[in-house]
Amino acid sequence: MQRDIFSYLVTNPTDLSSDDVAYLKELVEHYPFCQTGHVLLAKGYTDQADHTDAPAALRKAAAYSLSRNALRKFIGGEFPVATTPAEEQRLPFTRRHPREVEEIATQHVPVFETINPVQALRGLDYSEVLLKKSEEKAEKEKFETPAYDQLAIIDRFIQAEPRIGPFRAKPGPSDEEPVDLAHKQQVSTSTPLTEAYAKVLARQGKTEKAIEIYEKLQLKFPEKKAYFAGKIEELRSRLSLF
């Protein structure tokens, strides 16, 4: 009910009475941030001549309004009042006989106008048509020619069946010295001369092979000859136990 009253006052601000002003005063006390309530209350006070609360209500409405110019026009009644739309004019309804409806439905109504091609071409400048056609053809050939040329090149390449022959080095003097591959293979497959390898052989039970490595190490590192001699003596003493 209260919502209906407020909606009526918003759409009919010129009908504000003293009772409506009292209602709006109570409304803004409960809802102090209601902008529309403050504006309607200020208009109600202003419409009542020499009301003492009108200036204060008008200042508060101005504080809550987005446009003071619009507020002034609203208070002064410069805005047109919305009027109730008149009743829509109804078109007269005439009941027709089913046969009349069928006759209307079967009537032929031309949708498209029939055009004579000969008449349509009269007055047409054929030079412009031919020029436009030639330009369109040239533009079309401009984009189609490269693709055609590429396909033709590919076809000729396939028909020729080119083959790549074996690569042959050019004869001529070489700055690199020839490498003895047999010697290189022999070096790569030779036994490593390291003390670690001798220890591995000894752990695997290949004592004689380990002694052979130590003997070669004596020749390679003469400064450690006594050290390797001790290792050889240990391995030989181990053999004597077996």
Q: Distance between CA 217 and CA 7 in Å, rounded?
A: 115
- pLDDT tens, position by position, 40-78: 888 888 887 667 888 888 888 888 888 888 888 888 877
Say if residues 24 and 32 touch (Cβ distance below 8 Å): no
Instruction: Give residue 172's identity as a one-letter amino acid code.
Output: G
Q: Is the pTM of this model over 0.75?
A: no
Let me know if residue 228 belongs to a domain.
yes
Which range of residues forms the domain containing residue 204? Answer: 191-241
Mean pLDDT to the nearest integer, 100-108: 57
Domain final residue pick, 54, 75, 96:
75
Let me know if residue 167 belongs to a domain.
no
Domain final residue pick, 75, 92, 117:
75
Across 65-153, the runs of DSSP E, i.e. the strands, are: none
pLDDT grade for 88, boundaries at 50, 70 and 90: very low
Let me know if residue 93 belongs to a domain.
no
Let me know if residue 106 belongs to a domain.
no
Let me know if residue 32 belongs to a domain.
yes
Structure tokens at 54: 């009108």
Q: Which residue has the tokens 């601000």?
A: 13
Q: Distance between CA 19 and CA 3 in Å, rounded?
A: 16
How many domains is the chain partitioned into structurally?
2
Domain final residue pick, 60, 75, 90:
75
How many CB atoms within 10 Å of residue 77?
Answer: 13
- pLDDT tens, position by position, 109-164: 555 555 555 555 555 555 555 666 667 766 666 555 555 565 666 667 666 655 55
H or E stretch covering 9: helix 2-11
How many CB atoms within 10 Å of residue 146?
Answer: 9
Let me know if residue 154 belongs to a domain.
no
Mean pLDDT to the nearest integer, 201-226: 91
